[in-house]
């Protein structure tokens, strides 16, 4: 299976003769395009906040969503929300939806899910990180450089948590039957 690197583009998505004997049966996945879908930068306490000396408390939330757009195309959204607050008020709030159109063909469901929720966010993150840094700098503050994230490890943690929830739910449910 080919896992896309930054800048990879699927050029054979519509080429049915890509495989041997005209059959397109090789697994492939990659980035078709990427873009800012939504960006909001709020600086509600300006200009007073530029006089504040207190170190802000930063809160960063990251969520991933994937929506099927066409047979072989999914839109993966990396939603990043960053806020900086002090006891005097909010310095800034940045909401970013950074998206990528991901092409996938001939991937088993488990691999497709892993690509959409681990590999695709890994590819998109450096670009979203730059947008966040630029937005915070353009709001008049030092650039917010988000720490790198291990989306593969986060994905594995989510799978393990779901499996544990399912096991606990099954154990808590009494067997159905007649009394």
pLDDT tens digits for 23-50? Answer: 678 888 999 999 999 999 999 999 999 9
Q: Check residue 172 and give its pLDDT.
A: 61
CATH number, span 35-163:
3.10.420.10
Angstrom distances, CA of residue 19 to CA of 15, 22, 57, 68, 104: 9, 6, 53, 24, 15
* Mean pLDDT (whole number) for 49-63: 95
Considering the chain, what is the average pLDDT of its residues? 86
* Mean pLDDT (whole number) for 94-98: 98
Q: Check residue 175 and give its pLDDT.
A: 55
Confidence of residue 167 (pLDDT cuts 50, 70, 90): confident
* Mean pLDDT (whole number) for 65-90: 96
CA gyration radius, the chain: 21
* Mean pLDDT (whole number) for 108-124: 93
Q: How far, rounded to the nearest angstrom, does the alpha carbon of residue 97 sit from its chain's CA centroid?
A: 9
Please give the model's pTM, rounded to 2 decimal places.
Answer: 0.77
Residue 107 reports pLDDT greater than 50? yes
Across the chain, which distance is largest between two alpha carbons, in Å? 72
**Domain range annotation of the chain:** 35-163
Confidence of residue 174 (pLDDT cuts 50, 70, 90): low
Tokens representing 58?
């930063």
Cβ within 8 Å of residue 48, ≥6 positions away: 88, 89
Tokens representing 104?
């996938």
- Among left, alpha and beta (phi > 0; psi -120 to 50; other), residue 12 is alpha
């Amino acid at each position: 299976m080919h896992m896309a690197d930054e800048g990879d583009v699927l050029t054979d998505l519509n080429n049915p003769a890509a495989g041997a004997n005209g059959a397109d049966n090789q697994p492939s996945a990659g980035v078709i395009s990427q873009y800012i879908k939504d960006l909001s930068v709020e600086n509600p306490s300006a200009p007073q906040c530029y006089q504040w000396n207190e170190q802000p408390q930063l809160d960063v939330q990251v969520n991933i969503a994937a929506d099927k757009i066409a047979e072989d195309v999914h839109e993966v959204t990396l939603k990043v929300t960053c806020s900086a607050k002090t006891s005097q008020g909010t310095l800034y709030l940045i909401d970013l939806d950074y998206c990528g159109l991901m092409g996938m063909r001939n991937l088993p469901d488990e691999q497709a899910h892993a690509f959409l929720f681990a590999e695709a966010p890994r590819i998109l993150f450096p670009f979203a990180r730059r947008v966040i840094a630029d937005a915070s700098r353009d709001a008049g503050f030092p650039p917010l450089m988000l720490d790198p994230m291990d989306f593969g490890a986060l994905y594995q943690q989510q799978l393990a948590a779901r499996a544990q929830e399912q096991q606990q739910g099954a154990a808590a449910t009494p067997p159905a039957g007649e009394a």
